[in-house]
Every structure is written in structure tokens, then in C-alpha cells.
Amino acid sequence: MEIIITNTPEEVGRVAADLIAGVVRSRADAVLGVATGSSPLATYRRLAELSAPGTADRVDFSAVSVFALDEYVGLPDGHPESYAAVVQREIVNPLGIDPANAHVPDGSAADVDAAAAEYDLAIAHAGGIELQLLGIGRNGHVGFNEPSSSLTSRTRVKTLAPQTRADNARFFDSPDQVPVHCITQGLGTIGDARRLLLVAQGVDKADAIAHVIEGPLSSRWPGSILQLHPHATVVIDEAAASGLALADYYRSVQEFKPRAA
């Protein structure tokens, strides 16, 4: 796992966006996994700058496909806090992605279990995800894989933890409006991506980051699956890194990392 510690939350977004832009520059029709929530917003803002018309070395996202990590179950079509709406608003429109190439689990399906299985197959039929962007919850969840999730789980329906619902209540008019269930890519599905990129900012994420990076592999901290991945990168600011025992070592690794000629 590569650990990159930046000075500011904004720099987290810049570093992560540059990594994503490199994937798209090398393959115009790349398949990307996208996350919602607050952690990736700085990354999306920087990608919007890189994809703006007239920008030098502009990154063209028009042929890129994206798959969202998750979706609430039971929100009405068009609800502004559905992840279908969020992906359209924060990713598809700003980056100029073809809406037909944007995929989100169907949380309003009559059979949500079947919809989850179909979503897992759709990712495979697209050739798999080249790079999966991840945030992390304070309890260590990635996607909506709450603590105790199977490390080999596939896309499925999950019950949201009380902490997760409380953290997401800020997006709704009242806590009671936050859905109880979701469809989420499983930890096994996430691990199938050829590259994982996790971003986190702020001291509220420091405990989760410390467990995910330096703790044992455990379903108690679902994000610890990154320890198993052959190409995982974590980009965090100083506050999110404040619980790491080996932070100085990670900084040293970056300082002396071999650079391409």
C-alpha cells in the first residue's frame, strides 16, 4: 500500500485527481469506480478543472464509463440525495461524461437483491474497473460495507449502521429521512478493481485510517481490505494521518521514491 500524506485537504484532491487523470490519459475509454460523500469532492473539483475546455493538456472524459459504489434503497426517483442524482450533479455533468456511461445501482427496483446481482455482472461485462476511488467512514466502512461485512462479499443489499445514518443526516431535512438500507458493491467486488485509491481528510477519519493502514486485516474495519490489494494508494492530509504510528516512515518513502527519468 502506498501512503501519501499531504499538507492540506485541497492537496489530497489534487494528488488524487492527477492519479485519475493519468489513467484516463492512458486509456480514453477507462472504466472508473466513483465514490460519493464529502471526501472525494476536492478530487472531483480538480478533475473538473483538468477537463475544462481550453485547459492545457485537457483530460477528455467523454468516453469514460463510471460505476458508483452504492445507492440508497427506497428513495423516490429524482430525489436530490439519491446517489444517481449526486453522481450526475458532481461527476457526470462537470466532467462531460456521457450520461449513458454512468451506472448506479437501482435502489428503487422491485427486486433489489436481483438488481444488486445484475450490477455486479454489469461491472464484469464492462471489463472490470480500472481504478476505484474510495472514501472511508468513521467506522471504517468503504462503500456501504459496514463493520462485520464479509471480506469476499459481492454487490448486495446492506443495512446501514446507526453511525453512518447519523453522519449522512446532514444531507437530508431530518435524520428520519435517511434510508435504512442500501445496495453496495461488496468488499470482494471492490477488491476486483485493478487499482484502489482511497482519500480521506480531517481528524474525524484519523482513527479509521490508523486501523485500516496499520491494524490487522479485519471485518471490524472493512477498509483494511486495501492491505490485500496489489495496487492500493491512500492519499490523506496531516489531520487524517495524525493517528499513524509510522507516518514519518511513509513520508520518507515518498521523499525517496524513485522518479521516472
pLDDT in tens, 24-49: 999 999 999 999 989 999 999 999 99
Catalytic residue among 103, 141, 192, 237: 141
Q: Report how far residue 101's alpha carbon sits from residue 89's, in angstroms, rounded to the nearest whole number.
A: 14
Catalytic residue among 90, 101, 103, 139: 139
- Cα 94 vs. chain centroid, distance in angstroms? 17
HSE-up of residue 63 (Cα within 13 Å, Cβ side): 10
Q: Look at residue 261 and tell me if it is in a domain.
A: no
- Residue 206: give its domain's CATH number: 3.40.50.1360
The CA–CA distances, whole Å, from 88 to 47, 51, 81, 171, 259 equal: 15, 16, 11, 16, 37
Q: Look at residue 43 and tell me if it is in a domain.
A: yes
pLDDT tens digits along 241-258 = 999 999 999 999 999 988
Residue span of the structural domain in which 229 resides: 2-255
pLDDT at position 260 is 64
70 is catalytic: yes
Q: Look at residue 72 and tell me if it is in a domain.
A: yes
List per-block mean pLDDT (blocks of 10 residues) for the chain, which spans 261 residues.
97 98 97 95 97 93 98 92 96 97 96 97 98 96 97 97 92 92 98 98 98 97 98 98 98 88 53
> Of 253, 184, 186, 182, which Cα lies nearest the Cα of 213?
253
Q: CA 66, 69, 72 angle in degrees (round to 5)?
A: 120
141 is catalytic: yes
Catalytic residue among 11, 70, 106, 167: 70
Place of cell 484532491: 13
Q: Look at residue 147 and tell me if it is in a domain.
A: yes
pLDDT at position 259 is 77
Total structural domains within the chain:
1
Q: Look at residue 61 and tell me if it is in a domain.
A: yes
| Type of residue found at 69 | L
113 is catalytic: no
Q: Look at residue 194 and tell me if it is in a domain.
A: yes
pLDDT at position 258 is 84
Count of beta carbons in the 10 Å neighbourhood of residue 75: 20
103 is catalytic: no
The edge-to-edge listing of strands for the beta sheet with 70-72 is: 70-72, 181-184, 156-159
pLDDT at position 261 is 53
Q: Look at residue 68 and tell me if it is in a domain.
A: yes
Catalytic residue among 90, 146, 192, 237: 146
Q: Look at residue 260 and tell me if it is in a domain.
A: no
